[in-house]
Amino acid sequence: MAAQGRHGGQESNKMTALVVDDNTVNRMIHHRLLDNLGIENVAVVNGKEAVDIHCSGKTFDLILMDMDMPVMNGIEATRQLREMGIRSMIAGVSTRSMEREIREFIEAGLDDYQEKPLTMSKLISIVHKING
């Protein structure tokens, strides 16, 4: 299930990421974590916005996908992105602990799954998967 790292077509060689999370505090923390690693990032607030931003032509090396979100959740968004042919690394991040729920999320097309809260070491392990 190795993802192909792709640059978003921007002039810089910086890695790019999309944060998908309905929680303001989480978005701020994930933004800071990514910034600290020198990864350019944008944030959207639900799965539908994640799909829409890809429909507008943007792509990212990494997508940090929350599971529980209004309008469209992470499972559905991941499915749709994969159906659209998006091959970016999608890392699911969630507080859910039931194996069944995590499995459903992974089967939707995740490359990696991390339990929240996200820490620097968890993010680094995700990023290594893109490069490795």
Partner 1 sequence: MNIVNQLQRQFIDFSTSLHREGFVDDQFTQLQKLQDENSPDFVVEVVSLFFEDCEKLINNMARALEQTQGVDFKQVDASVHQLKGSSSSIGAMRVKNACISFRSFCEAQNREGCLRCLQQVTHEYSLLKNKLQTLFTLEQQILAAGGSIPVVD
Q: Which residues bind partner 1 (CB under 8 A)?
A: 22-26, 28-29, 32-33, 35-36, 68, 95, 116-120
Residue 3 vs 15, nearer CB to partner 1? 15
CA distances 55 to 38, 69, 112, Å, are 25, 19, 23
63: which 2 tokens?
């997508």
Q: To the nearest whole angstrom, how small is the minimum distance from the Cβ of residue 41 to partner 1?
A: 14
Beta-strand pair 89-94/62-66: parallel
The strand ranges marked E within the chain are: 16-20, 40-44, 62-66, 89-94, 112-115
Q: Which is nearer to partner 1, 10 or 95 (CB)?
A: 95
| Closer to partner 1 by Cβ: residue 56 or 121 | 121
Least distance from partner 1 to the Cβ atom of residue 22, Å: 8
Do 75 and 110 form a contact (C-beta atoms < 8 A)?
no
Closest distance of CB 118 from partner 1, Å: 8
CA distance 79 to 103: 13
Q: How far is the CB of 78 from partner 1 (least distance, A)?
A: 19
Closer to partner 1 by Cβ: residue 23 or 59: 23
